[in-house]
Structure 1
Amino acid sequence: MKPVVPFILTFSALACTNAIANVSYQIDLTSPEHHLANVEVVFPETQSNSLVVNLPVWRTGKYQVLPLADAVRTFTATDDSGAVLPWSRTASGEWTIALSEPTSVTVSYQLYANKLGQRVNHIDASHAFLDASGTFVYSPEFRGEPLTVSLNVPSDWNSYSGMDSGSHAHSFTADNYDILVDSPIETGISEHREFSADGRAYELVVWGEGNYDIDQMVTDLTKLSGQAEVIWDDYPFKRYVYMVHATSGARGATEHLNSTIIQRPRFSYRDRKDYLGFIKTASHEFIHTWNVKAYRPDGLVPYNYQDEGITELLWIAEGSTSYFQSQLLLRAGVMTPKEFLEDLAKRVAQSEQTPGREVQSIADASANQWASSGGDYAVNHSTNIYSEGYLTSLALDFSLLQETKLKRSYRDVHRKLYNDHRIPAGYTISDVKGILNTVSGTSYEGWWQEYVNSPVSLDFDSLLGLAGLKTSYGKEAKVEPFTGVTLKSGSLVLSQVLRGGPAWNAGIVLGDEIVAINGLKVTAAGFESRIKDFSAGDTIKVTLFSNDRLKDIELKLGEKQSGKLVITSVDKPSRSQKAFFKAWLGVDWPFDKEGQLKAVK
Structure 2
Amino acid sequence: MKRLIFLLFPLFAMSLSAQPAIQYTMDFREPNSHLIDITMTIRNALPGTQQVALPAWRPGRYAIQNYSRLVQEVRAASETGLPLPIRKLNKDTWEISNGNVSAITVTYSFYATILDAGSTFYNDQEIYFNGSNLFMYVPGRLNEPVFLKINHPDGWQTATALKPAGPKSFTAASFHELADSPTIISPTLQHRKVTVDSINFHIWIQGETNGNPDALAEGIRKMARTHLDFWQGVVPFTDFHFLYHLVDYRSGHGVEHAKSTSMVLGPLTNLPDPDDWKRAYPTTSHELFHAWHVKYLVPADLEPYDYSKEQYTNLIWFLEGFTSYFDIYLNHKAGLITEAEYWEEFERLIRQSELNPGTAVTSIADASYDAWLYGYSSDGNKNRMVTFYSQGELFALLLDLDIRKETNHQKTLGDLMRWLVAEFPVKGRFYQESDLLNGLKLLTGKSYAPWFADYVHGTKPFPFQQAFDSAGYELIKVPADPVSRTLLGADFKRVDEDWVVDQVLPDSPAMKAGLFLGDKLSGSVFHPLPDKNLDAWLAGNLSDSTLTLEVKRRGKPVKLVLSGLNTTHYTYKIQKKTNHTSPW
Same fold (TM over 0.5): yes
Question: How many residues are paired up?
Answer: 563
Residue pairs, 1:385-464, within 5 angstroms: 385-422=388-425, 425-464=429-468
Tell me the alpha carbon deviations over residues 193-241 of structure 1, each in whole angstroms, 9 at most, x when there is no partner: 1111122011011111023321111001111111223145411111100
Task: Provide closer, same or farther for how the CA distance between residues 560 and 201 of structure 1 changes in structure 2, counting only shifts above 3 A.
Answer: farther
The yes-or-no answer on 1:352 pairing with 2:365 is: no
Q: Distance in 2 between matches of 1:459 and 1:471?
A: 11
Task: Provide closer, same or farther for how the CA distance between residues 174 and 543 of structure 1 changes in structure 2, counting only shifts above 3 A.
Answer: same
Task: Provide closer, same or farther for how the CA distance between residues 53 and 232 of structure 1 changes in structure 2, counting only shifts above 3 A.
Answer: farther
> In the alignment, which of 554, 565, 581 is matched to residue 578 of structure 1?
581
Q: Which amino acid aligns with 2:391?
A: E
Q: Distance in 1 between matches of 2:532 and 2:109?
A: 48
Contact 1:329 1:335 in 2 (8 A): yes
Q: Distance in 1 between matches of 2:373 and 2:533?
A: 37
Q: Distance in 2 between matches of 1:568 and 1:403?
A: 20
The aligned residue for residue 262 of structure 1 is 263
The aligned residue for residue 216 of structure 1 is 215
The aligned residue for residue 292 of structure 1 is 294
Shift of 1:290: 0.9
The yes-or-no answer on 1:547 pairing with 2:547 is: no
Secondary structure of the structure 1 residue equivalent to 2:337: coil
Contact 1:477 1:562 in 2 (8 A): yes
Larger mean CA deviation between 476-485 and 46-55 belongs to 476-485
Q: Distance in 2 between matches of 1:563 and 1:275?
A: 31
Larger mean CA deviation between 139-148 and 389-398 belongs to 139-148
Q: Distance in 2 between matches of 1:548 and 1:45?
A: 65
The aligned residue for residue 159 of structure 1 is 158
Q: Distance in 2 between matches of 1:317 and 1:454?
A: 18
Task: Provide closer, same or farther for how the CA distance between residues 245 and 101 of structure 1 changes in structure 2, counting only shifts above 3 A.
Answer: same
Shift of 1:67: 1.9
Tell me the alpha carbon deviations over residues 560-596 of structure 1, each in whole angstroms, 9 at most, x when there is no partner: 55575433344xx22xx321xx1xx3xxxxxxxxxxx
Q: Distance in 2 between matches of 1:204 and 1:450?
A: 43
Residue pairs, 1:64-75, within 5 angstroms: 64-75=63-74
Shift of 1:534: 4.8
Q: Which amino acid aligns with 2:301?
A: G
Task: Provide closer, same or farther for how the CA distance between residues 15 and 550 of structure 1 changes in structure 2, counting only shifts above 3 A.
Answer: farther
> In the alignment, which of 475, 489, 492 is matched to residue 487 of structure 1?
492
Contact 1:22 1:44 in 2 (8 A): yes
> In the alignment, which of 485, 501, 514 is matched to residue 508 of structure 2?
501
Task: Provide closer, same or farther for how the CA distance between residues 197 and 537 of structure 1 changes in structure 2, counting only shifts above 3 A.
Answer: farther
Secondary structure of the structure 2 residue equivalent to 1:33: helix
Q: Distance in 1 between matches of 2:39 and 2:250?
A: 29
Contact 1:363 1:453 in 2 (8 A): yes
The aligned residue for residue 385 of structure 2 is 382
Tell me the alpha carbon deviations over residues 60-116 of structure 1, each in whole angstroms, 9 at most, x when there is no partner: 111110120121111111113221111110111111111210411111111111121
Contact 1:495 1:510 in 2 (8 A): yes
The aligned residue for residue 101 of structure 1 is 100
Task: Provide closer, same or farther for how the CA distance between residues 503 and 150 of structure 1 changes in structure 2, counting only shifts above 3 A.
Answer: same
Q: Which amino acid aligns with 1:155?
A: D
Residue pairs, 1:554-593, within 5 angstroms: 554-559=561-566, 561=568, 565-570=572-577, 573-574=578-579, 577-579=580-582, 582=583, 585=584
Shift of 1:157: 0.9
Larger mean CA deviation between 529-538 and 379-388 belongs to 529-538
Shift of 1:160: 1.7
Q: Distance in 2 between matches of 1:535 and 1:414?
A: 50
Q: Distance in 2 between matches of 1:250 and 1:48?
A: 51
Residue pairs, 1:29-178, within 5 angstroms: 29=28, 31-117=30-116, 119-168=118-167, 170-178=168-176
The aligned residue for residue 22 of structure 2 is 23
Q: Distance in 2 between matches of 1:502 and 1:268?
A: 43
Secondary structure of the structure 2 residue equivalent to 1:415: helix
Secondary structure of the structure 1 residue equivalent to 2:203: strand
**Two-structure CA RMSD over aligned residues (Å):** 2.6
Tell me the alpha carbon deviations over residues 37-62 of structure 1, each in whole angstroms, 9 at most, x when there is no partner: 11111111224321110110011111
Contact 2:247 2:269 in 1 (8 A): no
Larger mean CA deviation between 227-236 and 215-224 belongs to 227-236
> In the alignment, which of 183, 194, 201 is matched to residue 185 of structure 1?
183
Secondary structure of the structure 2 residue equivalent to 1:75: strand
Q: TM-score, normalised by structure 1?
A: 0.88
The aligned residue for residue 330 of structure 2 is 328
Q: Which amino acid aligns with 1:23?
A: I
Task: Provide closer, same or farther for how the CA distance between residues 527 and 111 of structure 1 changes in structure 2, counting only shifts above 3 A.
Answer: closer
Q: Which amino acid aligns with 1:383?
A: V
Contact 1:467 1:578 in 2 (8 A): no
Residue pairs, 1:473-484, within 5 angstroms: 474=478, 482-484=487-489
Q: Distance in 2 between matches of 1:232 and 1:162?
A: 24
Tell me the alpha carbon deviations over residues 145-201 of structure 1, each in whole angstroms, 9 at most, x when there is no partner: 111111111123111211212123x22211100111111111112111111112201
| Percent identical | 26
Contact 1:484 1:501 in 2 (8 A): yes
Task: Provide closer, same or farther for how the CA distance between residues 18 and 550 of structure 1 changes in structure 2, counting only shifts above 3 A.
Answer: farther
Q: Which amino acid aligns with 2:122?
A: I
Secondary structure of the structure 2 residue equivalent to 1:443: coil
Q: Which amino acid aligns with 2:557?
A: L
Q: Distance in 1 between matches of 2:568 and 2:322?
A: 30
Secondary structure of the structure 1 residue equivalent to 2:491: strand
Larger mean CA deviation between 389-398 and 534-543 belongs to 534-543
Q: Distance in 2 between matches of 1:500 and 1:27?
A: 57
Tell me the alpha carbon deviations over residues 110-160 of structure 1, each in whole angstroms, 9 at most, x when there is no partner: 111112136210011111111011111110232111111111111231112
Q: Distance in 2 between matches of 1:204 and 1:197?
A: 13
Q: Distance in 2 between matches of 1:192 and 1:250?
A: 23
> In the alignment, which of 523, 527, 539 is matched to residue 532 of structure 1?
539
Task: Provide closer, same or farther for how the CA distance between residues 191 and 149 of structure 1 changes in structure 2, counting only shifts above 3 A.
Answer: same
Tell me the alpha carbon deviations over residues 518-574 of structure 1, each in whole angstroms, 9 at most, x when there is no partner: 35543443643332335585223222122333222210152255575433344xx22
Runs (5+) with no aligned partner, structure 1 = 1-12, 586-601
The aligned residue for residue 588 of structure 1 is none
The aligned residue for residue 6 of structure 2 is none
The aligned residue for residue 591 of structure 1 is none
The yes-or-no answer on 1:369 pairing with 2:371 is: yes
Contact 1:163 1:258 in 2 (8 A): no
Runs (5+) with no aligned partner, structure 2 = 1-11
Q: Distance in 2 between matches of 1:567 and 1:558?
A: 27
Task: Provide closer, same or farther for how the CA distance between residues 350 and 408 of structure 1 changes in structure 2, counting only shifts above 3 A.
Answer: same
